[in-house]
Amino acid sequence: MTANGCLLCRVEEADAFFGRQRVWEDDYWRVSVVLHGAVPGFAHLEPHRHIPFITDLDGVEAATLGPTLARATAVLRAATAADKVYVYVFGDRVPHLHFNLAPYLPDGPLTGGRGVLREGAPEVDPAVHQRVSAAVADGLAD
């Protein structure tokens, strides 16, 4: 999908579609808080530039992601009195990189942990996990 066909590249339209309010932005990133639903403070962090997937990050967006994500989640945690803020990226429905930021409270609606897995999902063979772990270690060893 090109930037022209991307909902998140049409920021005002995306804000209206998702029922959210943009609360912060700099030259590279923006944060919008969703104004409905079961999780107060649920937010999106997304780059201004059309980047389909996290693997497409480079340059300044890659360099500023960590500090921006840390700041946004710290502020969300404080604003909601959450124990932590879950950060997840799926990208199947909207092919523009966006981080879902979900404040977690122990008695709140989020289940956390294994709750994001399909019920009854089978365990993967430990040898597969070992192969993947070794491949990641090799890939990061430079």
Domain ranges of the chain: 3-140
Phi/psi of residue 95, nearest 5 degrees = -80, 55
Give me 130's structure tokens: 């070992």
Task: Give the pLDDT confidence score for residue 80 in this predicted structure.
Answer: 93
Predicted local distance difference test score (pLDDT) of residue 49: 95
Give the pLDDT confidence score for residue 83 in this predicted structure. Answer: 94
pLDDT digits (tens, 9 = 90+) for 98-115: 999 999 988 888 877 666
Q: Are 90 and 53 in contact (CB under 8 A)?
A: no
Phi (first) and psi of residue 82, to 5 degrees: -80, 155
Q: Write out the CATH class of domain 3-140.
A: alpha beta
Continuous H helices in the chain: 11-18, 59-80, 126-140
